[in-house]
Structure formats: structure tokens, C-alpha cells
Structure 1
Amino acid sequence: MPSAAFDLKALIRPVPDFPKPGVIFRDITPLFQSPRGLRHVADAFIERYVETDFSHIGAMDARGFLIGSIIAHQLNKPLILFRKQGKLPADVLAEGYQTEYGEAFLEVHADSLCEGDSVLIFDDLIATGGTLLAATSLVRRMGAQVFEAAAIIDLPELGGTQRLNDAGVPTFCLTEFSLSEY
């Protein structure tokens, strides 16, 4: 975790009523504009995972790509991209899931993983868990397993972390926000 003197939440901008009224969007772009902030986040994840045993890092489209690629580089692990439908050029596996706003599909290249591989999957935040659960299903369909789902932010009131845990996927987040927290 970032040091006690470091205020990660201060670098996450609340944007009220985005993408729809009543939602407070957690914008991580200020975090990525802060070299010190990004270093703290990357270091916290690297410290957690440097001596753990998994074979790949998976990153969720699109904000998960940002932190996932940094951690994959630093830990010298292959990076698997989980993309929105229609973005990958080769043979894909697809999984439908519910979002807060409707239905969506997540895709991954069908040859990304092999039986016995273990994947640490990254996203920017865990809300309802739909995207990470879809990724988990895709990983398992390839005969691999999810080591852990990691994110910068958890929104525990939306139940995603619990859904992931119920599906046998451990989770780790650097910080959390309540729905009423501005």
C-alpha cells in the first residue's frame, strides 16, 4: 500500500453525474498526471506481487491497460489484453456481461493462455465486478486460473468484490470509496 503520508484519494477526482445523473465517476487521470502518485501506486502493486507465483498479467480495456502494462513490465510478465468487442484482430473468445448501463461483451485472443497458466488481472476499479467476472470466465475457458483481481479503487457497496470472492477470485484494492463519499 502507499505510505501513510501519501494521500491516494486526493489524486482521484470525483465527477458528479457522469456518465448519468446520480453517479459519481472516479476519475484516475489526475493520478496518472502525478509522477509521484503513479510511482506510489506502481510500487504498492509491485511490492505486493514481486515474490508471488503467477504466469501472466491481464489488463481490462481501457484504464486497466495503464496500470497493468506498468506492472507487467516491472515484473517481467506477459501481458494479456481483455478488450471491448470488435477491437482484437485475431481469433477471439467472447463473454457477455451486464454493466451498470446495459449489456457488453469482453474479448481476448483465443491463444492468449494455456492450461495451467495463472493470471493476475488488473482494472482501475471494482464496481459491480461484471468486467472482471467476464475476464475470469474467459481465463477459465482457456484452462487457466485467476490468481487475483487487483484494482486501484474498490466501490464495495456495489458488490463487485463480494461477487468476485463468491466466484473464487481473491481481490486486492489500494483504496475504496463509499457511494456517498465525495
Structure 2
Amino acid sequence: MSNATSLAPADAPLNAAEFVKSQIRTVPDWPQPGVQFRDITPLLQQPKAMRVLIDLFVLRYIDAKLDYIAGLDARGFIIGPILAFELNLGFIPIRKVGKLPYRTVAESYHLEYGTATVEIHEDACGPGDRVVLIDDLIATGGTMMAGKKLLERLGALVVEGAAIIDLPDLGGARLLREAGLPLYTVTEFGGH
């Protein structure tokens, strides 16, 4: 008797984006009261869900003539290298300040309370390189905007920003689009 399981047609997701969304857990009041945290770890734990998610991104970018996928610290580091591998591209990490070992270029941005800084190696990419910038979600857009600016300072063309989740009520996607960055998100959640 085989240990393999077969999937009946009813088990296959009819709408890949809805299936991905169904795998994301909402954790109320974390990390502070009033915040509805969108937790992607259940999505990452399920091989079928992870495959559907990565396939959505691969299908979007397979013919985009890209040079790199750039991932934002930290959850962009989970999806980005997998996508880069699937597309036979290089991966560029954009990290929190002080984490990269070589000479870097830095960009600071505003948070709700204070500022943060991200860095990229000064030789991570060059003029004319076509890059997709990826993260797990877009909230206020600050981190993705900082990543965009860093890549552009190195001469790259940021073809698109990509994320699993958009939180449209926080205004980040609008801000990024107004700054000229096309966006692709798999799903969205209203509210905070």
C-alpha cells in the first residue's frame, strides 16, 4: 500500500489568491493592542500553500526579463530567494542597518514612532539591472520605499514591488504607486 496521498479535484484551489489568503493567520492585539497581525507562518508551513504562492509570483515574472529579486529584511528573505531560484536569477538582500559585512549604502525612513534604516551592499547591482523588490506585506510602505531608493541609487530599475499582503487602510500601496512604483500583491486585508 502506498503512503502517497492523492488530491481529489475538489482539493485543488479554485482561486489561488483566495487559497493563499485562507492560509494566513490573524493574531489580534499583537505586537500591541489594536493591531491585527497578519501571520504568514501557517502559509509557509504547508507545502501546497507555499507552492501555490511561489507559482503565482513565478507566473507573474517568468517573462519579465529580470536580473535580480531583491528581498526586504526579514520576511522578504523567505520568499525572495525561492523566487530568484525558480526564475534562475540572483538574489539581493536589503538588510537592517549593521547586518551586511561589506561596504554599504543606507537609507533611513520614518516609522509610526521614530525611524529605521536599511542597507544594501554597494555592489549588489548596477546601472540598468532590472529588479523586483519583494516583502511579505505592504503596510505604510516605508520599508519598500527605502528599498526602492537604495536600488535606484545603485542604478537599477525597480520593475515592480511585490508582496503577499496589502494592508490598504494604512496607505502604503497608494504612497508607493504615487512614487511611481508599480505593485503586485496576492491578497489584501482591510483594517489594521
TM range (shorter): over 0.9
1:60 aligns with 2:67: no
Indicate the residue corresponding to 2:15 in structure 1.
4
Pairwise CA distance, 1:3? 4.0
Q: Select which of 119, 122, 131 maps to 1:107.
A: 119
Q: What is the one-letter code of the residue matched to 1:61? A: D
Indicate the residue corresponding to 2:141 in structure 1.
129
Structure 1 residues without counterparts, runs of 5 or longer: none
CA shift digits 1:49-69 (9 cap, x unpaired): 101122111001111111111
Instruction: Indicate the SS of the match to 2:186.
Output: strand
1:86 aligns with 2:135: no
Identity of aligned pairs, percent? 51
1:38 aligns with 2:50: yes
Indicate the residue corresponding to 1:77 in structure 2.
89
Instruction: Indicate the SS of the match to 2:108.
Output: strand
**Aligned alpha-carbon RMSD (Å):** 1.3
Indicate the residue corresponding to 1:148 in structure 2.
160
Q: Select which of 112, 116, 128 maps to 1:116.
A: 128
Distance 2:50 2:14 in 1: 13
Query: Which aligned segments of 4 or more residues in structure 1 are displaced greater than 4 angstroms?
Result: none
Pairwise CA distance, 1:22? 0.8
Q: Select which of 167, 177, 181 maps to 2:189.
A: 177
Distance 2:147 2:120 in 1: 8
CA shift digits 1:95-141 (9 cap, x unpaired): 00112343100001011011111110100001111000000110111
Distance 1:8 1:40 in 2: 7
Instruction: Indicate the SS of the match to 1:7.
Output: helix
1:161 aligns with 2:164: no
For this pair of structures, how many residues does the alignment match? Answer: 179
- TM-score (normalizing by structure 1): 0.94
Distance 1:117 1:107 in 2: 18
Instruction: Specify the structure having the higher radius of gyration (Cα).
Output: 2
Pairwise CA distance, 1:13? 0.7
